[in-house]
Amino acid sequence: MNVAQNYRRAKLKGKSFKGQDLTGADFSYCDIQGTDFTNAILRGANFSHARAGLQRRWAITILISALLLSALSGLLSAVGGSLLGFIVVNGNRENIYVSAISLIVLLVFFLTTLRRGVAAACGFLAVAVVCAGVAAVVWAGVVAVAWVGAGSQTRVMELAGVVTVVVTGAVGVVVAATGLVVIAGAAVVAGAIAGLFVVAVTVAMAGAVAGAVVVAAAKVGGVTAGALAVTVAVLTLILSTDVSCRALFEDEKQSWLRNIAFGLVTRRGTSFQASDLTDADFTQARLKNTNFNKSILTRTCWFQAKNLNLADIRATYLEDENIRQLLITKDLQNKNFDGWNLQGINLQGANIRDASLIAARLNESNLQNADISRANLTKAQLDRTDFRGAILTGAYIGDWGITPETKLDGVKCEYIFMYVPTKDNPNPYRLPTNWEETFKDGEFTQFMSSSSKFSNI
């Protein structure tokens, strides 16, 4: 028989419990920053008030790396604009065409980033660059054959110059676009560790480096090169700020960037990756920079957990911000959850009064001691749902999907309704049928257990 281990208030920074069976272990009030629980069995473990996430040395290291990367990316954004500016300096017609097309592609990249996200924008840019490269090679080959056949060595040299300009334009676009993506990514990494202020500092550092490059470009290439360089740099910095903030605040369009950034940040944080946290308790735990990717979170308690939005919660039900918030607050009163998939969540002790849960999936969920008074559970799926100690007085249970495995022991219920009131039927079928009577202690549970009419057995 496994004996539950007690680590209460222990300092476990950087320790490894990888793959261990820690069923029922007590980690309450522990410092578990950087602790590795990957693939561990933590069923029923207590992590209430625990402090998870990055150790300070790793937080500082990653933050400094993000700032340096942002500075480098600021240089890239300005260099990209400068290259496009240098193309125009000579004033040749071909140069102007290439510069105009390059700027259009870059502008479309920026707009796609705003409207559809960084991932879609990078996909567009990859297609655009490939198409441009293929077109340039085909065109150059056809013209080169014609000119060589005519014996014009000068024209061949001119063609080589045009190809160089095309390549320069493509490089300028790619470099500028890379600058935007990396600045935004570095800002998300910094923000995940230290908040929005550091996002501003990160972008500002990129801007400082970009400004220095713009000044240099203006001195070398003149006003035109400087103007294009500053335009591209400013747009890149503005978009980087917008994209990074959207990613931090869970804009679905920027989820690709957020996932990459959080994957990097949580790599050195507390890891519960692929662990079994069934019935575990994270009440008031600090979970910033913690990895829950692919963890089993059946009936896991998240009541008043802190910074869960800054954890890696990919491939779990916590990805849904609405579900995450109701698990943290446990306040569902007067709210509508009709048709929601709430399977396997922990709402123990929750306030569910007057909530609508029509056809909601609550299989295997924990509703112990919850106040479900007057809630609408019509057609709700309740296989193996735990109602022990819950208050069901006045609830509407028509066609609710309880099974023999649904736990109803200790339910507090004075009366229930089989139908929701309507204008035609303001007094729906009530149990007990005599409006002057109420269920006695335990009578509701006995009635539901013995009745095949009102339970989906």
Q: Assign residue 339 the CATH number of its domain.
A: 2.160.20.80
Residue 435 is predicted with a pLDDT of 84
> 11: helix, coil or strand?
strand
Residue 403 is predicted with a pLDDT of 92
Residue 243 is predicted with a pLDDT of 94
Report the CATH number at residue 307: 2.160.20
32 falls within a domain = yes
Global pTM reads 0.84
Give φ, ψ of 36 to 5 degrees.
-105, 110
The residues facing 153 across adjacent strands are none
Residue 102 is predicted with a pLDDT of 82
Do 324 and 337 belong to one domain? no
Residue 389 is predicted with a pLDDT of 95
Do 351 and 446 belong to one domain? yes
41 falls within a domain = yes
64 falls within a domain = no
**227/126 Cα distance (integer angstroms):** 26
Query: What parts of the chain have a pLDDT lower than 50?
Result: 1, 452-457
> Which of 227, 262, 297 corresponds to the end of one domain?
262
61 falls within a domain = no
How many DSSP H helices and E strands does the chain contain?
A: 8, 4
> Which of 238, 262, 286 corresponds to the end of one domain?
262
Residue 222 is predicted with a pLDDT of 67
Q: Which domain holds residue 399?
A: 330-457
Residue 457 is predicted with a pLDDT of 36
Do 322 and 339 belong to one domain? no
> Taking Cα atoms as reference points, which of 27, 70, 73 lies closest to residue 50?
27
| Parallel, antiparallel or unpaired: strands 401-402 and 381-382 | parallel
Residue 101 is predicted with a pLDDT of 81
The residues facing 46 across adjacent strands are 26, 281
Do 9 and 41 belong to one domain? yes
Contact in structure between 288 and 266 (CB atoms under 8 Å): no
Query: Domain total for the chain?
Result: 3
Residue with tokens 């604009």: 81
405 falls within a domain = yes
Contact in structure between 210 and 251 (CB atoms under 8 Å): no
> Which of 262, 297, 312 corresponds to the end of one domain?
262
80 falls within a domain = yes
The residues facing 286 across adjacent strands are 51, 306
Contact in structure between 49 and 27 (CB atoms under 8 Å): no
Helix, strand, coil shares, percent, the chain, to 5: 50, 10, 40
Do 41 and 78 belong to one domain? no
Contacts of 264 (CB under 8 A, 6+ apart): 62, 189
Query: In this structure, what DSSP letter does residue 406 have?
Result: S
Do 336 and 450 belong to one domain? yes
> 315: helix, coil or strand?
coil
Residue 140 is predicted with a pLDDT of 61
Contact in structure between 255 and 274 (CB atoms under 8 Å): no
Do 324 and 339 belong to one domain? no
233 falls within a domain = yes
**400/397 Cα distance (integer angstroms):** 5
Do 94 and 237 belong to one domain? yes
Do 322 and 366 belong to one domain? no
Do 354 and 284 belong to one domain? no
Percent of the chain topping pLDDT 90? 62
The four Cα atoms 242, 244, 245, 247 give a dihedral, to 10 degrees, of 120
Do 278 and 379 belong to one domain? no
63 falls within a domain = no
Residue 182 is predicted with a pLDDT of 93
Do 253 and 388 belong to one domain? no
